[in-house]
Amino acid sequence: MAANKLKDFFDKPLGRIVALIGAAIVIVIGGVTYQHFQGNSNNGAAAMSYTAGSNTGASSTSTEANTSATTPSPKPTTKQLVNSWYKSYDYLVTDLQSDFTQAQTDAQNNDMSGLSDDCSSIVSDSSLAQGKPAIPDASIQTNWSTALSDESAGGNACEQAITNNDTSELNQATTDFNNGSTALSAATNAIKALQ
């Protein structure tokens, strides 16, 4: 009787759809449990089993062999993860580079008001970048994090140097910017090497 229910079920459109969907589908109809496991046996058929029974505990089972396991998708490589990160967040590098280009122009033109704004932009863009997900490579992330921290500190020192006409703050800003630039170059060069 259970075999007839199974045959009737899989002869109906819904049963055929369920049979095609795959990976561990369990259906209970009228006290009969139907399971379908997607996979390839030697003849290409999917393995199916059913168990008939109720509260009595009596059961009957029929199974075709299923000899293949589902292979999980391969994990993305570090290269793929870093490239994906860079495609999403490359604008952060571009923004910082633009800030420094503008700061250099304003410094050469002796535009202290513009330079103060540029330093403020460096702080803002560094802070924005620090709030984004980490680069999925420890070494690159270390350089990136160092660059952002140094650039932000340099931007703050730069603003203080201009506001207070303070040479020691200007020297500190220069040191921070140089350190940040070195770390930023190391991070971007490592990213480019993975592309």
Does 108 share its domain with 188? yes
When divided into structural domains, the chain yields a total of 2
In a domain, 69, yes or no: no
Identify whether residues 45 and 114 lie together within a single domain.
Answer: no
Rounded (10°) angle between helices 167-193 and 138-164 = 160
Residues 91 and 179 in one domain: yes
Model confidence pTM above 0.75? no
> What CA–CA distance (Å, rounded) separates 54 from 24?
21
Query: Quick count: other Cβ atoms within 10 Å of Cβ 25?
Result: 15
In a shared domain, residues 59 and 103? no
Which regions of the chain are under pLDDT 70? 1-69
- In-domain check, residue 73: no
Q: Does 152 share its domain with 107?
A: yes
| 100 and 30 together in one domain | no
Model confidence over 144-186: pLDDT tens digits?
999 999 999 999 999 999 999 999 999 999 999 999 999 999 9
Q: Do 135 and 82 fall within a single domain?
A: yes
In this predicted structure, what is the pLDDT of residue 68?
Answer: 56
Q: Which domain, by its residues, includes 136?
A: 78-193
Residue burial 36-72, b: 16+ Cβ < 10 Å; e: rest = bbbbeeeeeeebbbbbbeeeeeeeeeeeeebeeeeee
Backbone angles phi, psi at 40, to 5 degrees: -110, 125
In a domain, 134, yes or no: yes
Q: How confident is the model at residue 54, as a pLDDT?
A: 43
Tokens 């070494």 correspond to 139
- Would you state the pLDDT for residue 73? 86
pLDDT at 41: 39
Q: Which of 17, 37, 63 is the last residue of a domain?
A: 63
State whether 90 and 184 are in the same domain: yes
pLDDT at 62 (0 to 100): 45
